[in-house]
Chains A and B, each alone.
Chain A
Amino acid sequence: MTEQIDKVLEREYEAGFVSDIESETFDPGLNEDVIRRISAMKEEPEWMLDWRLKAFAAWQEMVEPEWAHVDYQKIDYQAISYYSAPKSMADKPKSLDEVDPELLRTYEKLGIPLIEQQMLAGVAVDAVFDSVSVVTTFRDKLEEAGVIFCPISEAIKKYPELVKKYLSTVVPMKDNFFATLNCAVFTDGSFVYIPKGTRCPMELSTYFRINEQNTGQFERTLIIADEGSHVSYLEGCTAPQRDENQLHAAVVELVVLDGAEVKYSTVQNWYPGDENGKGGIYNFVTKRAVCHTDAKVSWTQVETGSAVTWKYPSCILKGDNSIGEFYSVALMRGAQQADTGTKMIHIGKNTRSTIISKGISAGRSNNSYRGLVRMNPGAEGARNFTQCDSLLIGDKCGAHTFPYVESKNPTAIVEHEATTSKVSDDQMFLCQQRGLDPEKAVSMIVNGFCKEVFKELPMEFAVEAGKLLEISLEGSVG
């Protein structure tokens, strides 16, 4: 049976093509001069450059973390190019008509049509290609509602007050090795501001694509949901199939003010490397939200890509009655490794958090849930519920659970549960006895295992995630 399932799990990476686009790429290497050049390319104000240099100085004193349950070749930070942009971007296109057609074709190939009339109604897209934002759609319509959705490089110039006020307030500059590196070298990413009491009229979405060889992607996203506002934000990512490992070290900060709500969904499909663990993206990401009074943040992630994933989308539940949620599916196979989970820091009274994590391990992969639930002394009446389930497919993989639970308030209640299971022979036989082939049976059982998380995804993404899982499981390119 295991053999059968293993065969089902072999699959090719669909997004692994390379786009033939002329790019301007920095030579590999990292020093102050590179940072100055990035800043200059972006035509940044002085304060931004100073901020970057400060981060760089701090980073040089820091050491790469080693506590995660992952094992990878040491990264040579001098062998990475820290900036790459399509040449055609020199004069930033004003509209889609001015975008390099090859770029548009790339996104189309990925199933992300940027041509507005073809787009799924109601999703505005920011497309980030290597180091720059290529295009952001539906900007006019969003502006009418007062919503700002633009590349962060643009926001630094156009909305410096907002950026200055909130940048690195959620993830401090010296938070961790990768986040500090990101501060020094980030090139682009999305900026979102939802004004008071506004419900964002459409889903916002960013697609990240690494194309160039030997480049790292360091994007930075800052979302500010002002009082009583609401936004749903989606993020997707892919990269070509290459033999070298590439680094993706992003920082995402969510500022969720009183009574606001942010739903942040990710479908992560970076190139996972080949069966033997050659190549693939190192996905070392810091994502965090600060929730003020009555605010709510919901992180939903479907992780199927990357060679190594190190990521813990977290919530600081600072305001009373604020809510944090984390729903995660991580499907690892081949030689993939993931160490992912969340932190829920309960500070305010009556704060609530829910963590549902579904890890699927196949092949020779290792999949770890690592989480922290902390009840601070002031977290009167706070509640947490955590459920971590692992599904093992085959006897060469690993599934691990490392939850840290800390409480300093007697009125707070914390509940953590974890289980493991396998796709049982009985389940497979029942499905086959009803006429289903093994591929369909496995994908159905795995989808069923993930259901609690999939139902949290926005509609379009739920379909995409389900399909992604099916492709992951089917072994055929279809």
Chain B
Amino acid sequence: MSNWLESAVTRAETVSDWLSPKREASLALLREAKVPTRKTEAWKYTPVRAIDQVTVSTEVSASVQVESIDDLNSVDLVFINGEFDAAQSSSELPAGLTVSRLVDADDSARAWALSAFSNIKPDRHLFGLVNDVLATDGALIDVAEGVEIEQPIRIVSLLTQGAEAHTRVLVRLAERSKVAIVEQFLGNEASYNTGFAEYDVAAEAELEHYRFATQVNEALSIGGSHFNLGEKAQLNSTLIGFGSKLSRVDVDVTHAGSHAFAKMNVIYLLDGKELFDLHSTVEHAVPHGTTEENVRGIVADHAKVVFNGRIHIHRNAQKTLAELNNRNLLMSRTAEINTKPELEIYADDVRCAHGATIAELDKKALYYMQSRGLSRSQAQVMLNFGFINELVEQMPNQVLAEWLRPQLKARFAQMEVG
């Protein structure tokens, strides 16, 4: 056993609270767990040894300011190094929305949280188990039946130098409710965090979801967003991944009710020596579900990306429509792309397809643009941006899209090519 895993188990033994009954099951699994190696399919391309190399200190600075997103008018929930920061968080909530902290949840919040906790997130995620046993703070978000929350809810998790944090988010959308939730991860110093969120989307509810896994440099960030979709529920999710020393996201979508619709767009942009690893799994457990997954990425310099996109159609899931498309641009001779779209199909009357491509920027287009007087790097930025902008444009919240664009462009501008 490695230090981090051993230490997680040891520390977990001292955690005791209302979630303990749920934590125990995860702890039992964790005790049996092995540290992933190259032979562990889910970690084939991503070494985890970096976690043992980060120096975690108990004395971390917590006085940092989180930037707001102009014009978003969001309900902010800010966690600094895993602890809720009331001063930076919104104090007023719109009607129909209940938010509690994990540490001081009342009985009614505890009741539903206990049924959701670790039930939507599959227990095969090793770091999800770590989060199960160590996350002592986080948010419980409850949207009442039939309520449409206009303000997006923005959950920020910021890590400072030397911090280790485990935060957990549980979200419940009651029937016919509607909400947008942004999970934002910040902090580029050496730190280690796990951030997992579970979403229970009831019948006919609509969830707009964003995860900005944009920590870079020294940060080690492992987490996941996991969704359970009821009948006719709708999920529209956008994931942005930058990549750092170790950045791993697991996404699971389960179609538990029929006629649900899931749209997932993913953009990853990697530079330097960054690593980004995304594993997504869509479970079609019932008939008449629809999934559209579009994953696009650009990988430059010495960066490495790993994408594993699995679609699993269960025996009973007739009339499923599921498509996954993964397109990659490889910008440099030292960068690396590993992609594995998977289909596992047990029902015959379904329409499923996946595709994956890896190529470089269109040289002819590049030359054409240069011939009109653009510099090579200008042309590159434009072409790169064009490649991903289609997905940016599809973001339902255009304020977020506007906020995001310059950050994406800045990434292209600095990308090391060659």
Contact = CB atoms under 8 A, between A and B. Distances in A.
Counting chain A residues whose Cβ lies within 8 A of the other chain, the interface size class is 35 or more
Contacts of B339: 405-406
Contact residues of B: prevailing secondary structure: strand
A377 B360 CA distance: 14
Given A416-B357, A418-B354, A420-B351, A407 B337 contact: yes
B333 A410 contact: yes
Contacts of B328: 407
B360 A403 contact: no
B355 A418 contact: yes
A414 B357 contact: yes
Nearest to A404: B340
A395 B340 contact: no
A155 interface: no
A394 B345 CA distance: 12
A390 B330 contact: no
A401 B313 CA distance: 12
Given A401-B343, A415-B357, A422 B348 contact: yes
A400 interface: yes
Nearest to B332: A410
Contacts of B342: 400-403
B358 interface: yes
A420 B336 contact: no
B92 interface: no
Contacts of A402: 340, 342
A398 B345 contact: yes
B349 A422 contact: yes
Interface string B190-206: 00000000000000000
A340 to B, nearest CB: 15
A397 to B, nearest CB: 7
Interface in A418-453: 418-422
B356 A377 contact: no
Interface in B295-351: 315, 318, 328, 330-351
A414 B353 contact: no
A420 B341 CA distance: 14
Interface in B86-140: none
B1 interface: no
Nearest to B311: A401
Nearest to A67: B41
Nearest to B359: A413
B76 to A, nearest CB: 40
A380 B260 CA distance: 44
Given A395-B315, A395-B318, A410-B330, A420 B345 contact: yes
B333 A407 contact: no
Nearest to B356: A416
B149 interface: no
A198 interface: no
Given A405-B356, A407-B337, A393 B348 contact: yes
A401 B345 CA distance: 9
A80 interface: no
A390 B353 CA distance: 10
A144 interface: no
Nearest to A374: B338
Interface in B152-204: none
A406 B345 contact: no
B9 interface: no
Contacts of A67: 41
A409 B338 CA distance: 12
Contact of B338 (A394, A405, A410, A412): A405
B341 A395 contact: no
A395 B41 CA distance: 28
Contacts of A397: 346, 348
Nearest to B45: A406
A393 B348 CA distance: 6
A420 B331 contact: no
B352 interface: yes
A334 B356 CA distance: 32
Given A418-B353, A420-B352, A406 B343 contact: no
Interface in A338-393: 375, 377, 390, 392-393
A247 to B, nearest CB: 25
Contacts of B359: 413-414
A403 B330 contact: no
Given A405-B358, A406-B336, A410-B332, A417 B348 contact: no
B13 to A, nearest CB: 32
Contacts of A399: 343, 345
Given A398-B344, A416-B341, A410 B335 contact: yes
A168 interface: no
A213 interface: no
B348 A403 contact: no
A176 interface: no
A424 B41 CA distance: 36
Q: Report which residue of B343, B350, B352, B355 has the largest number of chain A beta carbons within 10 angstroms of its beta carbon.
A: B343
A395 B347 contact: yes
Contact of B345 (A400, A408, A416): A400
A268 B348 CA distance: 26
A407 B336 contact: yes
Interface in A48-94: 67
Which 3 A-B residue pairs are closest in the complex by CB-CB distance? A392-B348, A410-B360, A410-B330
Interface of A: 2, 67, 375, 377, 390, 392-422
5 contacts: A395-B315, A401-B343, A406-B338, A414-B357, A420-B352
Given A401-B342, A416-B357, 17 more contacts: A390-B345, A392-B347, A393-B348, A395-B349, A396-B315, A400-B342, A403-B340, A405-B337, A407-B336, A407-B358, A408-B335, A410-B331, A410-B360, A415-B355, A418-B355, A419-B353, A420-B345
